[in-house]
Structure formats: C-alpha cells, structure tokens
Chains A and B, each alone.
Chain A
Amino acid sequence: MFFYLLKRVAMMVPMLLGITLITFTVIHLAPGEPTDLQIQLNPEASSELHERLRAYYELDKPLYVQYGKWLGRLVRLDFGESFSQDHRPVLDKIAERLPVTILINVLSILVILGVAIPIGILSAVHQDSPFDRATTIFVFLGFATPSFWLALLLMDFFGVRLGILPIAGLKSFGFEYLGMGGKLLDLLRHLLLPVFISAFGGLAGFSRYMRSNMLEVVRQDYILTARAKGLSERAVILKHALRNALLPIITILGLSVPGLIGGSVIFETIFAIPGMGKLFYDGVMMRDYPLIMGILVIGAVLTLVGNLLADVGYALADPRIRQS
C-alpha cells in the first residue's frame, strides 16, 4: 500500500509539469496582452510606454524564458505578482477569496448529499411511484433552471417583497457591532439563498446517480439472501444495500475536490460574493497571466490529489479492491 502510494505521488510530478506547460502555452495563445488592456484607448499612452510596460512585465522575452522563470519561482512556492495594477502577490489574492468559496461549496455539497441520497434511496425503493416521479421532476427542474434567474426571483421575493432575507453580500453593514450569536445568524441569513441556489442545481446528478446505484444493488443475490433470512426491509435497504450503493459516490466526491475552490462567475456576480469564480474570470479578461496560472496550478494539484484520495478511499471501503 505504502509503495503504491509513493508511486502514485511520484507520478503526479511529471503530470503536473505537463499540465502547467500546456496551460501556460494556451493562455499565451489567447490574443491580447495585459499591457494592451492597461493602456489601450488611453489618449495619452505612447508606443514607447507600451514597450516599457512590456519590458516591466517581461513580456518582451521569448515564451520559454517566461515559462522557465515562472516555473523557477513556482518550485520555491512563489506564485509571482499579479499583472493587474495592484501588483499584489497572487497567493494573497487567492487566499482572501478562498475561504468564502470553500465555505459555500462545502455547505452546498453537504446539502446536496443530505437531500439527494434520501431522494435517491426512496425513489429506487419505490420505483415508478408518484414520489419517484415527483422528485424526478423536482430535481430536473433544479438542473434545468438558470441559476441567475431563480436567484433574482428569490431575492426579489424574500428580500424586497417579504423583507425577511438580505439580498446580497455576506455580512450586513454594522456586522462588527453584533454579538457572537448575532454574527452567526447574520452570516446564516446571508448564506441561505446562495447555498440553496447552488445546491438546487446539483441535486439532479447525485440523486439520479444514487437511484440507479440503488436499483442495481437491490437486484443482487446477497439482497435476496438478506431478505430470505427474514431481515426487515428497513435493515435490508439501510444496512446491506445502502453501503454498497454508496461506493461509487466516493469516486464522485473525490472528483469534486477541485470543484471546492472553483466558483461560478454568474452566481458570485448576482450575490455580490467575492469568490474564486469572479477572481478567475476577471483575471482571464485582464490577461493577468500569473493569477490565471496560480489558480490553474492549485486546481490541477487538487484534481490530482482528489483522484488519489478517491482511489485510496475506494480501497479502504471496498475489501475486494484492497486485496487485488
């Protein structure tokens, strides 16, 4: 097991290198440079200034030199300085956006699991029942509804008409003056709509997946055996069937690890939440190469780590894999 892990981790290094090389190239293939955006259509900028700015950002050097320098810094865990006019370290910019993105994503995954798994089980157990059909419609509605549209409707209804929920942002003005409990309540009220919206769209996938796994499992011989030996239906489903049906979910969870740091631009824009999605989008629009690369590298690392975790988790959960 230990040797297997070591091999997997060692394999990640060339893979990561390959990913960075490809992304670095692709980003620089996109037309436009950060300097264009900083001075373009500015009546006062001369072409000499343009050259000076390009030299300042070292954009005048060949691409392989730029990549080499970038990689050299990355090895020392230095993600470089943002090309935007604030010139701040990329890591700082990511660090201040990361907590809120992770918070919302974790909450929304918990909500999705908490709702989708029971729905999946019940739909499978009562296959083709009215409940099955109703939940199918419900989860697909969630999947098909444009999140920005639903978000605006809910904001208008709960925020403007009923006036019981805040519209946007994460904290009320005057948050600092609230007590501990007040702060928590304020945060919860602000998170309610965003978490609901982001979870609503994800219900369909998980619940359908859970349903089909469950249907698969209940047809197996060992379920028949369990029933034959006189176990209650409850014990059959929750003890024998569920554990086996949950196995593939581990893989999905592993794959959603990189998703934890990814945000959605539309969603963050609507709710005025400063998260990773908007940071990345703005970075791309401004051709802020170090920032884009920083986020992509972290995403790539998390994807690789997530895959590894999924494999390891699978091995731990399933004795058949462990033995082979």
Chain B
Amino acid sequence: MAKRRLAVTALGVGMAALLFGSCSPEQPVVVAEEPARPPVHGDTIIMGSNADAVTLLPVLASDGTSSSVNSLIYNGLVRYGKNLEIEGDLAESWELSPDGLTLTFHLRKGVTWHDGHPFTAADVLFTYRLYIDPKTPTAYAERYRQVEQAWTPDPHTFVVRYAKPLASALSSWGLDIQPRHLLEHVEITKSPLSSAPVGTGPFVFREWRRGERIVLEANPDYFEGSPYLKRVVFRVVPDPTTMFLELQTGGIDEMGLTPLQYARQSDTFNFRRNFRKYRYPAMAYTYLGFNLRQPLFQDKRVRQALSYAIDRQEIVKGVLLGLGQVANGPYVPGTWPHNPGVGYYPYQPDQARELLRQAGWQDSDGDGILDREGRPFSFTIVTNQGNDQRIKAGEIIQRRLREVGIEVRLRVIEWASFLKEFINPGKFEATLLGWTVPPDPDGYNVWHSSKTKVGELNFIHFNNPEADELLEQGRRTLDQEQRRKIYFRFQEILAEEQPYAFLYVPDALPVVAARFRGIEAAPIGIMHNFIRWHVPEREWKYRR
C-alpha cells in the first residue's frame, strides 16, 4: 500500500507545511553529525520494490516501479519541489502570457543526454508529438491534446499555446522529456530504449536483470551536480514480509513499511540503531462509494446516515494502526485545495437511526433489519482482491452498519473482472475503492455529471449542477486563490451530499538504513533531495 512515488507522478501542488509539524513523531532527533566533513561520493543504495518495472520508456509506462526508476533517469521541464511548489527542472524559467493561453519555457543550456548528445527544445517538441501521436499506445495523451499549437522559436525555447486556459497546463509539463535523436523514425513499441533508457537525469542506466534488479549509476555530468551515491539498485522482492527480513539482514537499504511493520515489528533496539523511519500523509484516500442510480441510495439522508454509522477513527486505528488520518473529502489534509472547515461525519449511530427513520426505514417485522415497504435494507459492497486494508475496512463497516439495522455483504473480486463486470457497467450497489490524489485539484473526470459513460470515472453517477459548474470553472481558472475558493465550495457540496463516505488518508511509511545522511522529510516525501543523500566514507558498505 505504502507505495513510494517520486517527484511529479502523484503529488498535489500546495503548502502542506502546516501538516509537516506532525510528520514523524517517532523519528529520533537527527543526531548531530560531523558537520565539518563535506559529503563524499560513494556507496550504493538498494531500494526494495514489490514489482519489477514494466518498461523504462516513460511514454509507455504507467506502473509505479517504472515511474520510480524513470524519475531518476529522466527530467521534466518542471517538477514539484519539496513543499509541493512547482519549480524548474529542464526549464530554467517560464512565463505565461497575460491572456493565460501561451506558456513559454526557457530551457537550461549545456544539458546533454547520457550518450553525450546535446539536449534542445527539439527534444521537448518531439516528446509532445510522441504523446499525441495516435500510433503511440499511451494512456496519457489527453492533457497534451488540449494544446492548440507548440513550437520552438530557438533551440532553447519551447512555446505552447492553448485554445482555452487550462489550470493544470504548467504541471503537465513535468512529463519525462525523451530523446528525439534516438526515438525519431522508429516504431515506438520496438525501441530498444524501453529496456536501456537514455535520459538527462541524475542517474545513468546500467543494467536490468528482469524480475531481479535494475542498476543505475551516478551521472557525473548531471546539471545539478553529480549525485553523492555512486549507484542505485532497485531490487525486486514481491513479498512484503520477505522484503522486511531482507531489510533487517542488510539485503535492502530502503523500503515502504506496512502499518504493522512500522508499528509493531520495528521497535527493537537494533532496528532503531540501524534504520530511520519516516512518516507523512500519502497522496491518496480510500472511500465507500454509493451507486446513486440505485433507489436505495438516492435519498441524501440515507447516505448521511451511513456516514454517521461508520466509525472512521476505528477504521484508522484498526486498519492502519493509527498510521493515517480520517478523510473528509477528495483532497489530502494540509494541501492547498483541502478545506479544513468541512468536518467529517463523527460516529453517531443515534443520528444515523434518526435520519433513516426520517427516510422511512423502520424495523417493522422485528428481525433486526430495517425495512421499508416490505424491502429490507441490505446491500453488497464490492471491492478488489489484493488490498487487505480495503477488505478489513469493509468488515468493520459491515459490523457497524449491522448495528443500526443494515445488512451488508462484502464481495471481493479479482481486479480485471471487478472493473469489467461491476464498475464499468455500473452493476454494483456500493464499492470500496481508493484514488490517488493527482497533482492538480481538478476533479472534473471523477465528479462531473458528463463523465458517466461506460468506463468513465464518475461510475457512481454523481450529478449536481452546482458542482458541475464549479468543476468547469476550476479547471479554467488560473489564479490559485480563486481556485481555492471554488474547490472549498465544491468540498462543502460533497460533504453535504455524501456521494462517497470518505474514509481515510493512509500515511506513507518509508524506512532507510541509518548510514544514509542528508535525508530531509518534507511534505512531498523523502526523495526530493535524493541526489544529496550520502554516506560518510567510514560507513560505506559497498566499495566497488
């Protein structure tokens, strides 16, 4: 669950600094280490990964491991900084035209690809065209289709023009820029780069043993200076328990812990001495979504009652062992779009019973289950196989709803069938699922009433004219203050309507061997200054 995600892939823009104060309570105070000695270049870090990468060609990749590896090999024009602010990467600076339609990027000079070829604006233009090419099988073309025109006035300037203002335009240029000289005129799915990538990033690809490991080495010519760690190894260990054993015996230096491992299995003296644990909110939330086309859930009072009947604190405690927080909407607490003024539904079973009574649900036949017009209140929650946290949350919800007289069945279905048979055709009553919270608060695809066709994301059929209006405004408004107001109001509507019972935001729980110094936990996580991580020479573990 606590999957590591780097840089641009899945983080929201904003100022989570408020929240950072509560970041790592169990974190021992960073030992005052020899400040006089400057960091040296050397040693290797072995990162545990639960799955092998699929392809190292960013345009084709969509899995977590591939993007983790690619983020060290490639650069975007911009990226998210440690406090989730957008900063330059391959672009030194950029400006937006007064009408909000034209973005001009000024690129860094003197950057070279790992094979020595110079990087220019032509590479950016090529990457853009690669994404929108109908022959490219990518799932990420949509946001680049919004571009009306793109051109390069000179080798170090890249300009894009949009037909309508697009709030997420700038952040979309965090995509990995790929080398034109190696990819032009080749069939993209046949490119050798998918197994031997060439980028501009801090690490150079060295070796890929499928199913075992991927090895990268420091790029001595990196434009921000060569990373201190000489080598990075992504080691594939699919089983979390095995990975934890490997960590303890030194076979792995970094991994994401499960809540159980974090809370119960890493409290020994040896563990504290050899490892540093970190904790910060993951950019994701889990929810119970109600199919609003089902007569059962069409009454707002019923949905509110269900929310009152669920004890969210209990779920956070029981499922996450307290390593997470209650969610009150689709944004992560502490990020700028999140509206802290919207409370969450506290556990109030009496309030739930009262609302259900108002909606006409009573236990008229004395069997302990509410009924109305002869129909008992019973429904099925479907969720996907392979996510134990969701299944456990489902069981807790099942018990709590039974206490107010609602019968819930829980069905766990293998992922592909789950999508095809239940979610896409809308053949479900309620579903336990999670969303990754994307970089931009634009929730148009998930919440807008037009996005209810088969396979689209508003599969619960939420339809609220005011919310629609706000979502349309939000994605076309460029001023952050104004957008914040829009999304604050949007969250109030969701809180009132409860189309989802928002459940929890889990914490990311990375752990790193203690010999690595310079790690700085921040709202974006710990990987933001990865190229500055280092190991004092006397503690080097791998000298070759």
Contacts and interface: CB of A to CB of B under 8 A. Distances in A.
A177 B246 contact: no
B142 A46 contact: yes
A270 interface: yes
B134 A155 contact: no
B412 interface: no
Interface residues of A, number: 55
A47 interface: yes
A272 B455 contact: no
Given A270-B239, A272-B239, A285-B415, A85 B61 contact: yes
Given A52-B134, A272-B239, A278-B211, A37 B54 contact: no
Contact of A85 (B60, B211, B235, B419): B60
Given A30-B417, A50-B455, A85-B60, A43 B446 contact: yes
A44 B445 contact: yes
B245 A274 contact: no
B140 interface: yes
A15 interface: no
Interface centre among A81, A163, A169, A285 (most CB of B within 10 A): A169
Contact of B249 (A43, A97, A159): A159
A32 B455 contact: no
Contact of B238 (A42, A177, A269): A269
A163 B251 CA distance: 12
A184 interface: no
A47 B417 contact: no
A268 B237 CA distance: 10
B256 to A, nearest CB: 16
Contact of A31 (B54, B242, B416, B454): B416
Contacts of B63: 85
B189 interface: yes
A212 B419 CA distance: 50
B273 interface: no
Interface centre among B140, B248, B420 (most CB of A within 10 A): B420
Nearest to B543: A174
Contacts of A47: 453-456
Interface string B406-434: 00000000111101110110000000000
Given A169-B212, A174-B544, A87 B189 contact: yes
Interface in A96-155: 96-97, 152, 155
A84 interface: yes
Contacts of B424: 36, 40
Nearest to A273: B211
Nearest to B417: A31
B32 interface: no
Interface centre among B233, B249, B423 (most CB of A within 10 A): B249
A171 B417 CA distance: 37
Given A50-B455, A86-B55, A270-B239, A42 B137 contact: no
A271 B236 CA distance: 10
Interface string B49-61: 0001011000011
A26 interface: no
B233 A173 contact: yes
Given A44-B139, A152-B241, A272-B236, A37 B416 contact: yes
Interface string A46-69: 110110110010000000000000
B147 interface: no
Nearest to B248: A160
Contact of B416 (A160, A163, A270, A285): A285
Contact of B542 (A32, A85, A174, A271): A174
Interface in A11-47: 30-33, 36-47
Interface centre among B143, B212, B235 (most CB of A within 10 A): B212
A173 B211 CA distance: 15
B54 A86 contact: yes
Interface in A241-262: none
Contacts of B194: 86-87
A182 to B, nearest CB: 14
Contacts of A50: 455
A37 B415 contact: yes
B139 A32 contact: no
B527 interface: no
A169 B250 CA distance: 13
A210 to B, nearest CB: 34
Nearest to B144: A44
Interface in A176-219: 177
Nearest to B145: A46
A173 B62 contact: no
Top 5 nearest A-B pairs (CB, nearest first) are A274-B211, A32-B416, A44-B142, A87-B189, A32-B420
Interface of A: 30-33, 36-47, 49-50, 52-53, 56, 81, 84-88, 93, 96-97, 152, 155-156, 159-160, 163, 166-171, 173-174, 177, 268-272, 274, 278, 285-287
Given A43-B457, A270-B241, 7 more contacts: A40-B455, A42-B140, A43-B446, A47-B454, A85-B63, A167-B245, A173-B44
